[in-house]
Structure 1
């Protein structure tokens, strides 16, 4: 590649990225999952419209799998363990037994209605078996749903990718005859168990390392955190286990550990997740050929109806009835099982494996994801209201967010009162810090205290102050001045310069 070709490639990539970000904003305003507009950007950029040619299914599979790993690491990092802890059992049932039920019912439906042979029918059932959290919560985030319902959907979508990927891989590599149920079950159990164990172990090791090792720059902590998630994904893959479940669990462990710079890590992970989603969906949009899609519309509609009206309700009923989940919540969870990136990525597996009819499956899955996201997504708010899960004017749960100081245009200053400093014995109001600088917290003897105006500083106190970039320098100068000459520093001509002035004669020293 010449330098000029590199510039053109970067120009196209940057333009597509900005177009995708604009599409995400438009999708948010319309209440639609962003994946639809990301896919549209890819299709428009492709050979049938703008003319960019891309048909490398093997590269798409490799990049798509890597993007899924980043997305799931970010999902784990931003998931609160307290929200899903009590839902692990039903979510695990939906992710394991539910996927199996969905595959069998979907395969039987397309076999009898479309005349598809059992091999392709099982492949198609496995490809569309997993749900997509990003697609669901892009629509649900503004709805006051019960925590149990939203948490269950989130946990299920984090766990059910791995079984679906395992089944697609098994069915794609089966050549002469399909493997027995016992062999498939053994493979699934091994991959989930070993992948889950590696994810938890590497996540814990990463948490211990990041707590004990002082890195030279704040920006290295998010990179190291993401690096541990990638290591978990790769280590599980090298052990022929599920890298997807390992990546998610490693992110979950790291995200719920008390690590330094958690806000920066979360912001970086969210940015990486968005970048992975944009790249993944645009690439998948490039991979399909629009002129071939009309022939896939009818099979996609039939497959989607089987999935929506039979397979999904069956797996939800089988998995959640033993946990006494009310039928209204079961009905909503059935309708809210949106499909997204994973099925389209999984549809590339049989293409790479050379399975006959695999290209038709890819077209069917692409059309199914687009059509049924358009049907199900906008209908979710009305469905929740009709089922009595939310009502107009209902009270919503208070959402507590971490606001990075850069969003507030503020700086956080930390000061330790050293031995011999004149800050010792000074009351907070006597600091006379420039507005709007405020002393927000004092850590003394390992305990945190919220100071009042009359709180007196002591040697060893750790002070946390919030200021603005405009007043930061003045605040630092005032703290240095008081530290050198006490609360009457200005009377002695001390203004907190970086280089302290020459020592005053003993006769002028304060008493």
Structure 2
């Protein structure tokens, strides 16, 4: 078949359709959808499409990762991650370095037994590319499960996966510089450490400032065509990445922090923007995983010695390297039980990001770069198969899961000038001790009960409306969420959830 523009579009449409259908099948059987996206790409690459462009693979991965990290930050509530900010940052920085060091030692020792002579810097490069957990995998799996996690585990895992890619990226780039013997190749430990610190500081500062600029612009520009707000925010995302990289900061960290800033401020058209970026992020994830699946060379991947090394690296990562780094990093933090630490160790999912980083040595012409890519690819598949399919099961096994209660009220506040908070309160017996009518119960000051849900039916209450245990109240208040949470706690009202 002659490759024309029309044929290219046809193949792209078929790939997306098959990937979406595969995602539906994956959801039904509890498998990670991203794993099947990868499988679809490999299947088409094996029989129909020849695609081996490292440059195009990197470009697609870079664009997709910017969108994924920004949306992950935008969907993360700072109030949720505040209690786990310390351990999250330690896992995202020190944890990546420890994982890389432990795994590199293992690779350096076992590679010769499998027929591969590998220097320690090369082993460290391999370990660095796969040292971070994958935000796309973690976000999609955790958020698709109707399951809550105790001890603030979900915000911790999302914070770690969203912010640890920059450290793995910097380690990868630094080691490529050392191994390539370029003019910048004579990088000592001291200069390497300075380089890492500068990248982190500049990236964090740039991401915060560009995020604040994006918030100010979105609220002041007053666009007549509301569809252009998403275009404007896309421009800020790519500007954050490219500008930060230009001034020698880490662009991926800047993008994630910019998303965190935007998502935790009131902005114009926030609801439509959230919906747009949710769908666009899924598109980027599908495209990235399909591209990486198409790129892999199945003949090289299935060589027995490559399968052995890839399997050994993947299993060691799951069973030893990840748990060692997690337990070491969480030593100073006493608010996590041993079971919670084991669960954090288990949800160290790898995904598209390690595979993407594994293409960088190929671009730089590093010796054994093809082997490195195949080993990382196999290790990632192993992680998605073993860990990705057991996220919920492991939480249940360790007694850390609970069913998330969905709000009975599907309400959104669209006016950005309204300083209001909507909460859903479930009536308990303690609230009815002073009387069973609405006027008898104690609620925070400056609050109003707008609606009551009882057995799936809704009605607007009056002061003399009698309440029952289990009724759900839609409450509006002009107080901050923090003040409301404290007041509810003092009043003995514990079954409260945010609405909208």
1:90 aligns with 2:87: yes
2:15 alignment counterpart: 16
Q: 2:47 aligns with which of 46, 49, 54?
A: 49
Q: CA deviation at 1:397?
A: 4.2
Change (3 A) 1:10 1:240: same
Q: Is the contact made by 1:42 and 1:282 (CA closer than 8 Å) also made in structure 2?
A: yes
* 1:104 to 2:101 alignment: yes
CA shift at 1:255, angstroms? 1.3
**Aligned residue for 1:372?**
383
Structure 1: which 5+ residue stretches go unaligned?
A: 406-411, 414-446, 454-511
Alpha-carbon distance between aligned partners in 1 of 2:291 and 2:322, rounded to the nearest angstrom? 28
Check if 1:80 corresponds to 2:82: no
Question: How big is the shift at 1:239?
Answer: 1.1
Q: Is 1:298 aligned with 2:302?
A: no
**Aligned twin of 1:437:** none
Secondary structure of residue in 1 paired with 2:4:
helix
Separation in 1, partners of 2:286, 2:26: 13
Q: Which residue matches 1:156?
A: 160
8 Å CA contact 1:32, 1:139 repeated in 2:
no
State the Cα distance separating 1:199 from its structure 2 match. Answer: 0.7
Residues of 2 paired with 1:396 and 1:114: CA distance? Answer: 45
1:61 aligned to 2:58?
Answer: yes
Q: Is residue 128–residue 365 contact of structure 1 (8 Å, CA) maintained in 2?
A: yes
Take 2:408 and 2:86, find their aligned partners in 1: how far apart are those partners?
A: 27
Q: C-alpha deviations, 1:200-246, integer Å up to 9, x for none? A: 10110110111112101111112212221221111111112110000
Whether 2:241 is the aligned partner of 1:239: answer no
Aligned positions of 1:191-210 closer than 5 A: 191-210=199-218
Which residue of the other structure, out of 348, 353, 358, is the alignment partner of 1:337?
348
Query: Separation in 2 of the partners of 1:400 and 1:254?
Result: 27
**C-alpha root-mean-square deviation of aligned residues, in Å?**
2.6
Asked if the contact 1:144–1:395 (Cα under 8 Å) also holds between the matched residues in 2, the reply is yes
Please list every run of 5 or more consecutive structure 2 residues that lacks an aligned counterpart in the other structure: 113-117, 416-446, 452-458, 461-500
> What is residue 191 of structure 2 aligned with on the other side?
183
Give, in whole Å, the separation in 1 of the partners of 2:133 and 2:104. 17
Structure 1 pair 188–234 and aligned structure 2 pair: CA distance change class (3 A): same
Closer, same or farther in 2 for the Cα pair 1:318/1:112, shift >3 Å?
same
Q: Report what 2:320 is aligned to.
A: 310
Check conservation: 1:171, 1:178, Cα contact below 8 A: no
Task: Specify whether residues 321 and 449 from structure 1 end up closer, same or farther in structure 2 by C-alpha distance, changes over 3 A only.
Answer: closer
Task: Give the match for residue 128 of structure 2.
Answer: 126
The alpha-carbon distance between structure 1 residues 276 and 136, as it changes in their structure 2 partners (threshold 3 A), is: same
Q: Distance in 2 between matches of 1:130 and 1:246?
A: 17
Report the counterpart of residue 276 of structure 1 in structure 2.
284
Check the 8 A contact 1:33/1:134 in 2, yes or no: no
The answer on whether the counterparts of 2:136 and 2:285 sit within 8 Å (CA) in structure 1 is no
Shift of 1:396: 3.0
Distance 1:350 1:281, change over 3 A: same
- 352, 355, 372: which one aligns with 1:361: 372
Structure 1 position 142 matched with structure 2 position 150 = no
- Tell me, in whole angstroms, the C-alpha distance in 2 between the residues paired with 1:401 and 1:356: 58
Residues 454-504 of structure 1: CA distance to partner in whole angstroms, max 9, x if unpaired? xxxxxxxxxxxxxxxxxxxxxxxxxxxxxxxxxxxxxxxxxxxxxxxxxxx
Alpha-carbon deviations, 1:386-405, whole Å to 9, x = none? 22213xxx553445897789
Could you say which residue in structure 2 is the equivalent of 1:502? none
Q: 1:147: how far off?
A: 5.5
Query: Within 2, Cα distance between the matches of 1:192 and 1:81?
Result: 20
In structure 2, what is the Cα distance between the partners aligned to 1:316 and 1:178? 32
CA–CA separation in structure 2 for the residues paired with 1:341 and 1:15: 21
Matches within 5 A, 1:26-45: 26-45=25-44
Q: CA deviation at 1:340?
A: 0.5
Instruction: Tell me if the contact between 1:133 and 1:153 (Cα under 8 Å) persists in the aligned partners.
Output: no
- TM-superposed CA distance for 1:126, in Å, is 0.3
Q: How does 1:355-504 map to 2 (within 5 A)?
A: 355-390=366-401, 394-398=402-406
In 2, Cα distance between the equivalents of 1:382 and 1:5? Answer: 47
Cα drift, residue 370 of structure 1:
0.9
Taking a change above 3 Å as real, the CA distance of residues 263 and 342 of structure 1, as seen in their structure-2 partners, is same
Residue 33 (structure 1) shift: 1.6
Distance of aligned partners of 1:333 and 1:63 in 2 relative to their CA distance in 1, 3 Å threshold: same
Provide the secondary structure at the position in 1 that maps to 2:147.
coil
Distance in 1 (alpha carbons) for counterparts of 2:7 and 2:272: 32
User: Is the contact made by 1:107 and 1:122 (CA closer than 8 Å) also made in structure 2?
Assistant: yes
- 1:179: how far off? 3.6
Go from structure 1 to structure 2 and tell me whether the alpha carbon gap of 1:194 and 1:297 turns closer, same or farther (over 3 Å shift): same
Match of 1:494 in 2: none
**1:272 Cα deviation from its structure 2 partner:** 1.5
Tell me what 2:221 maps to. 213
Structure 1: distance between partners of 2:23 and 2:381: 16
Query: Normalising by structure 2, what TM-score?
Result: 0.77
1:178 CA drift (Å): 7.1
- Contact 1:28–1:138 (CA<8 Å) still a contact in 2? no
